[in-house]
Structure 1
Amino acid sequence: MRVGCHVSIRHGYWEAARTADAIGAGCFQFFGKNPRSLRIKQFDVRDAENCRAYCQEKGIQSIIHTSYPVNLCTEEPELRQLTMDTLLNDLEIAEACGSLGVVVHFGQYKGDDVLSGYQLMIELLNRILRCWNGRAKLLIENNAGQGSRMGTTLEELTQVRSLLDEPHKTGFCLDTCHAFASGMWRGDDWEQVAEKMRRHDYFSSLVAVHLNDSLYPSGSFRDRHASIGEGEIGSAAFATFLRTPELQDVPLVLETPGKRTGGHPEEIAYVHSLANEWQG
């Protein structure tokens, strides 16, 4: 089972990969560029290629998280173009670094007609995917339920993907805190949630997991992450989650505060111990 965490690219992509390896991570996530901007990054291709080669040598997988301002449901023409350009730039960086894909949040529509939001999202994703032919995928992440409550159900996630012109160029990233906050998962009902995912053929397109506990209760629609076992979801629920057969080859990336005494290395080891309780 590959468990890792988010890593800084302050010293480049290659150094981020080496940092992940040094702390015992089997996978990692990073921002391809400034997470607060939609600007295009002219990245160092050699650095990205070194990252790719290092990850291949060490057997480490990676994913990129796109910038915070990205919203697939925006109506403004100029912002839609900027969003398209920045996501294509992220995909280019992901391809160069050998990453599995680029995580993008399910859109949030601010108007009254939510159906228009879905249409805007599908239209923009189709435009982006028509321009992309690499191996890296756009990975749609479920929302916690803030704002319009879009992107909080398996039905929405799988239906939107099925309506895309080229769904094979996309996949899913499951955020456990978001699933809990939205009420998709109550914590004590993972077997039922997993069975529903099988019925909706969700697992076949699941590429990555954001493994996060939650500071707030299920159904709170509040997106605040906690360290594994130190939030409202709890260790027992995560132990059940980790024994899911479909998750054994999916990278599990911590986006937690890292406040344990040993930081993320200790938390990675703790997740492995939870998984081993069921495997042993």
Structure 2
Amino acid sequence: MFKIGCHLSVSGGYEAMGKDALKIGANTFQFFTRNPRGSKAKDIDPLDAEKLRKLLEENNFGKLIGHAPYTLNICSADVKTREFAAEVLEDDLKRMEYIPYNYYNFHPGSHLKQGIDEGIRYITDLLNKVLKAEQTTVVLLETMAGKGTEIGSTFEELKLIMDKIELREKIGVCLDTCHVYDAGYDIVNDLDGVLDEFDKIIGLENLYAIHLNDSKNPFNSHKDRHETIGEGSLGIEAISRIINHPKLYDLPFFLETPNELDGHGEEIKKLKELYKH
């Protein structure tokens, strides 16, 4: 069954997100765990979380994604920024257990001229500190576009992080179609080749989710600007190949396109028409 959703606001509560998803024909969704540009997190109402869990079960939802705030930079050169990242990450993983057995996604961060090796050391040290054997949440490293000193724009960099994680079963990858295309992986003309490369370096068994976004920028631009489905440089034919690919079609897909709720509903309708399984 096609698992497709978009990014929803948590401001109205957990159950409200599930109801919003149903309104637009979605059967999964992503949400920010807290203010995406800040640090504040709304208190969780356990009853509200329970209502969402019931709604998810009754409507056969796919796995959800909780997304870390954009301000999170685990590998910053600034000690206070890294301490903030540690507090947020640890708190968010506790919060995710109100809706267990889902995913938590974050951007690996920018090393800010410290060098990739030092940046990866900060990332892996913190993940090894906060990941717990008893948690049900799988933490996903997002593929990045390669702006500035971003870590994670190559499969090799993600593999370097993953190889140093002690609780290996608690870590995976979320592939962002806009990001990988902007990073230089030609998923428009050589999707099979890119997936073969991913499998060789990281392993497709470690790919848990797809951020399904078109791109405002040309191939290999390293800019990261999302576009609505079919209106960017990837195009609708490439998007169709992605959602129907035998190595991808059973993964959950999450839209992060520049759209409001109704617009996402139209995109979801279009994608369902393209989905052939």
TM-score grouping bracket, smaller chain normalisation: over 0.9
Match of residue 74 from structure 2: 72
Tell whether the 8 Å contact from 1:30 to 1:65 is kept in structure 2 after alignment.
yes
Is contact 1:144-1:182 (8 Å) kept?
Answer: yes
Match of 2:155 in 1: 154
Deviation at 1:111, TM superposition (A): 2.1
Q: CA deviation at 1:150?
A: 2.2
What residue in structure 2 maps to residue 31 of structure 1? Answer: 32
Q: Name which of 86, 89, 92 aligns with 2:88.
A: 86
Distance in 2, matches of 1:88 and 1:113, equals: 25
Deviation at 1:218, TM superposition (A): 1.0
CA distance in 2, matches of 1:170, 1:58: 27
How far, CA to CA, are the matches of 1:92 and 1:55 in structure 2?
A: 20
Q: 1:57: which partner in 2?
A: 58
* 1:132 shift after superposition: 6.0
Aligned-partner Cα distance in 2 for 1:142–1:254: 15
Q: Aligned-pair distance for 1:201?
A: 4.3
Report deviation, 1:10: 1.9
Q: Confirm or deny that 1:270 pairs with 2:270.
A: yes
Q: What secondary structure, in the 3-state scheme, does the structure 2 residue paired with 1:195 have?
A: helix
Where does 1:40-189 land on structure 2 (aligned, <5 Å)? 41-61=42-62, 62-98=64-100, 100-129=102-131, 131=132, 133-189=134-190
TM-score of the pair, normalised by structure 2: 0.93
Note the C-alpha offset of 1:204. Answer: 0.6
Whether the 8 Å CA contact 1:39–1:86 is kept in 2: the answer is no
Q: Distance in 2 between matches of 1:206 and 1:7?
A: 22
Q: Is the 8 A contact 1:100 1:207 kept in 2?
A: no
Rounded to whole Å, the distance in 2 between the matches of 1:5 and 1:45 is 24
TM-score (norm 1): 0.92
* Corresponding residue SS for 2:158: helix
Q: Is the 8 A contact 1:51 1:98 kept in 2?
A: no
Question: In 1, Cα distance between the equivalents of 2:260 and 2:82?
Answer: 37
Contact 2:155 2:202 in 1 (8 A): no
SS at match of 2:120: helix
Structure 1, 114-123 or 69-78: larger mean CA deviation: 69-78
Q: Deviations over 1:148-204 (max 9, x none)?
A: 142111122123112211121111111100001111235211011111122234321
Secondary structure at the residue paired with 1:247? coil
Cα contact 2:141–2:174 (8 A) shared by 1: yes
Amino acid corresponding to residue 17 of structure 1 in structure 2:
G
The 5 Å alignment of 1:169-248 reads: 169-248=170-249
- What is the Cα deviation at residue 222 of structure 1? 0.8
Could you list the structure 1 runs, at least 4 aligned residues long, displaced by more than 6 angstroms after superposition.
none
**One-letter amino acid of the structure 2 residue matched with residue 193 of structure 1:** V
Specify the SS of the correspondent of 1:242.
Answer: helix
Which amino acid counterpart does residue 253 of structure 1 have in structure 2?
A: F
Q: Which amino acid aligns with 1:10?
A: S
CA distance in 2, matches of 1:76, 1:256: 31
After superposition, the CA RMSD in angstroms is 1.9
What percent identity do the matched residue pairs reach?
34
**How far has the Cα of 1:99 moved from its partner?**
5.6
Unaligned regions of 5+ residues in structure 1, if any?
none
